[in-house]
Amino acid sequence: MMDRGVSFSVASHAAWAPGLDTEAAWQAWARNPFTIAGQADAAVSAMPAMLRRRAGFVGKMALEVAYRCLDGQTDVPTVFCSRHGECTRSVELLSDLAQELPLSPTAFSLSVHNAAAGLFSIARHDQGSHSALSAGHSGVEHAVIEACGLLADGAPSVLLVVYDGVLPEVFHAFQNCQEQSFAWAWLMQPASADSAETMSLSWAGVDGKGNAVTTAAAPDLQQPGGLDVLAFYLRRDPELARTVDARCWRWERHA
């Protein structure tokens, strides 16, 4: 039995990935998910060019959906969630370090996990709080809990941005799912009976033998957890059950 949970409403959403830039394309993907591939950069036309050029491939995806989802709103707390963040930049820096090459202060500043969130707030002169999370294959669930905590503290809305990219080749042997490049965002608000997009997330632990204490089925981990949740949302499924990272997570949509 699930013993904990949060509820929230989704006021607006946005998604972007190479080759998937329209609502129709995303709906087609949700009905029949396929491996997302490609290296096309998100345009991020809403961001000043000087800052846009500083963002990497993964960061641009996150920024694109953040701008689209907020649509001009300011001072909204943000929660950015990425399992690997700017991993490619970090690997490049470590390679330079191993070769005793000088490190770029700019490259280092943009390799940290809150780089995209920082660029977003700087570009918009936004004084809303922001955080950046990484929590394994269940990162999206932890990010939703973080966002709901901000709502419970009185924030009228919170921007959630979930994004990731393909790992550098040096890490391919260690990945436990088919990593793909994608980004999506929700503008979350307190749960409302009047909203058609009210959802809940509940969770429980597993027993000492590793068995789930609910009937939730374990995912096959063929794609990142963020894409599992996005497909559930876009298909308007009534529920999604995921057992991963020693937790049973159950998503539900309420009519």
What does the pLDDT average to over 118-137?
89
For position 78, what pLDDT does the model report?
A: 96
**Which is more confident, 193 or 201?**
201
Q: Are 44 and 67 in contact (CB under 8 A)?
A: yes
What does the pLDDT average to over 88-105?
78
pLDDT at 115 exceeding the cut of 90: no
Nearest-angstrom CA–CA distance, 81 and 135: 8
pLDDT at 135 exceeding the cut of 60: yes
Q: Are 188 and 157 in contact (CB under 8 A)?
A: yes
pLDDT band at 32 (very low <50, low <70, confident <90, very high): very high
Most confidently predicted of 23-32, 195-204, 244-253: 23-32
Q: What pTM was computed for the model?
A: 0.86
**Which is more confident, 72 or 66?**
66
What CATH number is attached to the domain comprising 225?
Answer: 3.40.47.10
Give the range of the structural domain holding residue 119, as residue numbers without chain letter.
4-254
pLDDT at 211 exceeding the cut of 70: no
For position 194, what pLDDT does the model report?
A: 67
For position 195, what pLDDT does the model report?
A: 63
* Choice among 90-99, 131-140, 174-183, 216-225 with the minimum mean pLDDT: 216-225
How many structural domains comprise the chain? 1
pLDDT at 109 exceeding the cut of 70: yes
pLDDT band at 1 (very low <50, low <70, confident <90, very high): very low
pLDDT band at 147 (very low <50, low <70, confident <90, very high): very high
What does the pLDDT average to over 222-251?
91
For position 218, what pLDDT does the model report?
A: 44
For position 30, what pLDDT does the model report?
A: 96
What residues form DSSP beta bridges with 105?
Answer: none
Most confidently predicted of 5-14, 114-123, 209-218, 245-254: 5-14
